[in-house]
Structure 1
């Protein structure tokens, strides 16, 4: 084929398209109907039974609305199970807005420190460009959630309820990004004067960030009065608590004992090794974001075992692939795009990572599993998109989808095989800032 497109080549393509009646049939269908409705494999949809053998959830789903806080919602949803049990209530929510405020403020500081560290590089250096591309998005990772709770504690939703901007973060984020990029410009200009001058400039930028966050989200409480009525109508009062005291009382899981397992099948990522990503994080001086690469079958087995033993599991995935929201289903073969387009779709998970076709985009909570002959067949998932979709907000995932599109889970270190637990003590392999395993779930 010639280097450029020629009229003769275009004519051949057009004749080839017109020669197959199936192409014209698909053209007629897709020009009038969404392609996913045409490609949907009805055999998959009708073949899914939404029941599962092990089912934990008997609570209402939460709703992140127009924000990218799924990772935070999923983490708080994991913790609220034990909190509701201790409080003796049916439904309970920690304040997502409280953690959002602290994540934004800590992340602004984290970004500005990265700018100081890289201020001797050109502005179009790949790492600097990556930092500037999204200085303060909503997305996050499991370790970032743990870092926030460890430093700032938790409060009930009543102590810092949602605001317009916590539920729709776009306008607030635009202001924050402008201020941070402007701050990056000023910090870089002060590089020759030394870190002390840069840190003084950083203080002024953070003061502006603090004002923006407080205007949009309110002011995080330092203390609050906690009292409640349980499901038996009995009244309780704990008195005035700090966020740290509330977290110590009602976060029933030892978050510091959890580790993040990932499935990264690229040849460059050996199984049984830990990884970290440059400049990934939100809290300066917190433990780094570290993953342990493990076989997919182990991720499935540990998730299944945790659910069977009564504990939901936080996980991150590429939510947009092979997904159907009206029926609340994920399946690796949900859409027959190859049949619609008469074109092969042959990339495996490693290929998709290498060629920017996939990455973690969303975090949720496994709350059920259907076990057949000791192996998982499908999974029940608590999403944070409200109760209007799927089964009152709970989705069904066929096991085929887990293998292709789930990237990471958070599990207790004690659940790991001894050889993998020992691997956590190795120095992590450092991936560049732009590696897809550094993607943030939102």
Structure 2
């Protein structure tokens, strides 16, 4: 059967277009204003007013700028929210994202080398090797990866390691580092496949490569300090405090004080290949070799949301991952399914289930933020308050409103303290994880 487009087809399409109601008006409207502006639903503003029955006070919104560090910002923000309450810290207090960024890129380099060595016998056109080389490292990550970094390197206040040009604008270092890692992959694969080098020689070469990477990153972000003084004034009474000669590990222990093992990843993946109440991990996904591994517990949406509500009721914000670009209006800070009426504008059917969108590449997690509130009506959520990391010039001084229906469709991951899990859910989380392929949508990095 020949499926080429012929002249008769074009003539019929042209005739149908001319006969379609309001085609000329809509053509003028969309060409002049763009698809989003032309399809914007004005009623979504009133439907998503920023009022919440549970509303945590979390201070100023941070700004990741031109970098893909949302997962770091979101995770560190959940920790600083707790610190601000415990120690009466000012609204603009932040933990150092640049410090975590340095060590994440350094550790991801080593994680990449490990995967290159493990797959060295595979052809370069094998899917695993092609997946590795497509993007040896990037700015993104997941909750467990941040926990792996903190367990090894601790945290520090932003004052001890502030932002650099490159931490706020990471495109340049990403290009150079990925170039370097692909070059190093060529060297390692040749050593294994052509030179038949022994493990000692390979490890020596790996350490040489890591030494070079450390130098590149130190030039780029500044070399992290090993000790620092923590100085601040309290918000309410303006008292000055100084805690001298702290290490990042000691600072985390003293001022954050979380047992990171208590905070676990819950996902909402309704695809046929992922059973509910089962745990999952992803092959070749991580950053710290020998560190905390990725582990997700998949739950139905009603259980997923109830855990988030319980944590908010107890005054704790919730790290979450979603597909932020879908039906999201950045300037107004609205994430709602009725924000844009694309289907009505073009008179087409765009509906897909959440599972279909995941299976067919229409949606996946691409951004992490923090839930800081929820509006409950008769005990049921109608909308959620979201702290973004795009600065205070978007949304409501950096905060967004997420409709409950939007959360159902485009929210994929939350981080919950295990104390909010029932005994049955705790047993579910204790199960050995099913290993998913590297390119599974639950392995995408926020």
TM-score range, shorter chain: over 0.9
Partner of 1:197: 201
Task: Tell me if the contact between 1:82 and 1:251 (Cα under 8 Å) persists in the aligned partners.
Answer: yes
Structure 1, residues 336-382: CA drift from partner, whole Å, max 9, x if none? 11111111012111001000111000000000111111111111000
CA offset at residue 227 of structure 1? 2.8
Residue correspondences, number: 441
Aligned counterpart for 1:209 among listed residues 213, 216, 238: 213
Of 224, 228, 234, the residue aligned with 2:232 is 228
SS at match of 2:431: coil
| CA-CA distance at 1:202 after TM superposition | 1.3
Give the conservation status (yes or no) of the 8 Å contact 1:370–1:379.
yes
TM-score, normalised relative to structure 1: 0.97
CA contact under 8 A between 2:82 and 2:316: conserved in structure 1? no
Mapping for residues 138-287 of structure 1, pairs under 5 Å: 138-191=139-192, 192-231=196-235, 232-287=237-292
Work out the CA distance in 2 between the residues paired with 1:78 and 1:99.
Answer: 15
Q: Quick check: 1:83–1:252 contact (8 Å CA) kept in 2?
A: no
1:64 corresponds in structure 2 to 64
In 1: Cα distance, 2:28 partner to 2:240 partner:
64
Instruction: After TM superposition, give the deviation of residue 421 of structure 1 in Å.
Output: 1.1
| Residue of structure 2 equivalent to 1:11 | 11
Q: Counterpart of 1:73?
A: 73
User: Which structure 1 residue ranges, 4+ long, deviate > 6 Å from structure 2?
Assistant: none
How far apart, in 1, do the equivalents of 2:383 and 2:97 lie? Answer: 29
Deviation at 1:305, TM superposition (A): 1.4
CA distance in structure 1 between the partners assigned to 2:278 and 2:97 by the alignment: 33
Q: Distance in 2 between matches of 1:82 and 1:262?
A: 24
2:30 matched residue in structure 1? 30
Mapped pair 1:416 → 2:421: yes
Deviates more, 1:414-423 or 1:114-123: 414-423
Report the Cα offset of residue 334 of structure 1. 1.6
C-alpha contact (below 8 Å) 1:302/1:415 kept by paired residues: yes
Structure 1 counterpart SS, 2:261: helix
2:46 aligned residue: 46
* 1:238 CA displacement: 1.7
Unaligned runs of 5+ residues in structure 1 are none
Indicate how the Cα distance of structure 1 residues 58 and 109 shifts in structure 2: closer, same or farther if over 3 A, else same: closer
Q: Is the 8 A contact 1:142 1:410 kept in 2?
A: yes
- 2:392–2:398 Cα contact (<8 Å) kept: yes
2: distance between equivalents of 1:162 and 1:333?
A: 37
State the 1:235 CA deviation: 2.3
Structure 1 residue 58 displacement after superposition: 4.2
TM-score, structure 2 normalization: 0.97
2:289 pairs with 1:288: no
